[in-house]
Structure 1
Amino acid sequence: MKWTGERLVTHVDAHFAYEHLHRYYIAMQFANGKKVLDAACGEGYGSALLAKNADSVTGIDLSDKAIDHANEKYGDYKTNFVRADVYSLPFPEGEFDLIVCFETIEHVNSPNRAIEELKRVLSPNGLLIISTPDRDSKHHLVSKAHNPFHLKELNQEEFQHLINQNFINSDFLYQKTITASLITSGESIGELKEYSGWFDGYAEVCPKNNSQYMIGFCSDSSLPSVLSNSILSYEPIHKSLIKRVMLKIRNLFR
């Protein structure tokens, strides 16, 4: 599939690929033995990841081109892709045990209507994992980047209100990409401290108040108790970037 900026494709070597992959890696933990819906699946890589653990995965997207590509590349006996609108899903009530909906509700005019429809096809004990960019993120404001495909972005307060008015139980994680040095005890990481600084000193930063994306875990049943801090290392992309930059520098002096 051609890269347009609307949907991630696997041949794009960029930091935001790791943002998407990290979310799917977390969702895979909850897909074991489940019937899963990947809402706004794009080219299908995330559905294929979920299918490694799930009993079955259905990916939906508005784009015929994306669905055709996904079925050709990833479709198999447990993974299928259909064209569908998140406002009007072609499935009966309570059809899915797990619904994953990443970076989607900012693409529609009525996020609440989309969530109501997702909840309709979620089983009574099911789990919805949903993410969206934080409109008030300082990273977003500093870059002043405008995504023409985003119709309605939310901040943390609005996102939490949206989730809580539709579900009895909810919990939230906060995500951003960083270049960092990691120091651990060798045991599992509990609370994760974040520092920002240089030679003249540092400040301790609250990760929640310094995130780019918000991830909601929503259910009318009890929530899983395994939500925790996690890190996805993207050393390969840094090495690839450095290699390309060094090659350009060498070419300047030839």
Structure 2
Amino acid sequence: MTIAILSALPEEQGDLVQALEAPERVEHASRTFWRGRLSGHDVVLALCGIGKVAAATTATSLAERFGARRMVFTGVAGGVGEGVQVGDVVVAAEYVQHDMDASPIFPRWEVPGYGGPRMDCDAHLTAILMRAASAYLERVGGQFDQYLPAPHAPRLHQGLIASGDQFVSTAGASQRLRGDLLAAGHNVLAVEMEGAAVLQVCRDYGLPFAAVRTISDRADDSAHVDFPRFVEQVARRYADGVVRELLALL
């Protein structure tokens, strides 16, 4: 059963390509895919690029061209929930598209044809991903404290993540986004730009999907400063470690 590991940026993929056994590079749909074996599993690794359309195109290719039967997204996100700090990890339980608005025909945030604004990740795969992330965080402890604005023991969170085609990088935008969603009962922990689109594709194809996001910034006025250094020094190692823990549990 082929497992797809999907990320937006090379740093979010870690060194997984270099670790592949019998690697095969495939060019398809203007993207590079890598097939091979990792920790005893058939896997395909892909970089989708940034944004929901790019993510959906790549996820569709993984289902159609590469026969993926499970998809896992690993990457970074901006923390917007209370107590979600830089260096923490959020495993998605659900997704909402914060830039979806087909009102007044449909309620705000509802994806037409899907019966509501929120979509669930696969419960079984997500539970395994939670165990993997927990094991990794316990193992690394305070190893990355020097890269965190406020050194602390990284915490693991599970809950709602919001996706949209916007890099939320000011405190005002972050507060408005969280406030609007919270007022409607959507307690968002983190914000990013791809996961909800991949989940929608997986729902269409009936494929289990799970996502893990390392918090790289607080989606505020310091986001553009924190992001490049964090993804290089911390996020790539988190991606590597969590995915390897996940595959060991599958």
TM-score exceeds 0.5: no
Please say which structure displays the higher CA radius of gyration: 1
Structure possessing the higher relative contact order (Cα contacts under 8 Å, 6 or more residues apart): 2
Greater strand proportion: 2
Q: TM-score, normalised by structure 1?
A: 0.29
